[in-house]
Amino acid sequence: MKDRINEIRELLESVWKKSQAFGRCWQKKGDGTNPLATSHITFLNEKEAVTVFYHEGQLYLIEYQTVVKTLLGDEVKEILKKKGIEINNR
């Protein structure tokens, strides 16, 4: 039986082709407390992103727009800075 997220991926082929970046990402289910711990299809453009995934049998879509000065971004920058790696923010 075909995985449901793969069927969604096929339906979104036109978005896949025109996105500046795209991919599949996932997280192990673990103890079940993380609703994002599943297989995702993610599309990125310069200032926005969309991720699509199933959780407990329901299809979800989360949309993001460019945000600056996030805690997660700060953590990534700090780790890279400690290793002497320069990054350029867009």
pLDDT tens digits for range 16-49: 999 999 999 888 877 888 888 889 999 999 999 9
**Averaged pLDDT for residues 42-70:** 92
Domain-located, residue 87: no
Domain that holds residue 63: 4-82
Tell me if 16 sits within 8 A of 22, measured CB to CB: yes
Domain-located, residue 52: yes
Q: What is the mean pLDDT of the chain?
A: 90
Residue 71 is predicted with a pLDDT of 93
Tell me if 37 sits within 8 A of 61, measured CB to CB: no
Domains of the chain: total: 1
Residue 1 is predicted with a pLDDT of 38
Domain-located, residue 61: yes
End-to-end alpha carbon distance in the chain: 42
Q: Which residue has the higher pLDDT, 90 or 41?
A: 41
Q: What is the pTM of this model?
A: 0.77
